[in-house]
Amino acid sequence: MQTSKLTVKGQVTIPLEIRKCLNVRAGSQVGFDILPGGDIVLVKIDTNKSMAGILKDKIKNTAPVSVEDMDKAINSGWETYECD
């Protein structure tokens, strides 16, 4: 496991081995996702792809969703979110 210390500004340095694995460098965008159970995943954000392109294999034959329905889904997710 690679480790890093949190600065007073809330920043961490991503260890070199992980930066190489993700193929990220200064200016690259990364994302964080909190999994059930509290583990956090770090992913490289490919700014050359559109979000629709990234999700095209995951979204099939779905009806359009209203902004109100999206807001309800987001809010219900936050209602059940717990960070240990």
Residues 14 and 29 sit within 8 Å (Cβ to Cβ): no
**R_g of the chain, CA atoms, integer Å:** 17
In sequence order, what are the beta bridge partners of 41?
A: 33
Tokens of 68: 């109100």
Could you read off the pLDDT tens digit of each residue along the chain, which spans 84 residues?
A: 889 999 999 999 999 999 999 889 999 999 998 888 889 999 898 776 656 666 667 666 677 888 888 888 887 776 665 654
Instruction: Find where tokens 């209203």 sit.
Output: 66
Task: Give the model's pLDDT for residue 54.
Answer: 64
3-state SS class at 44: strand
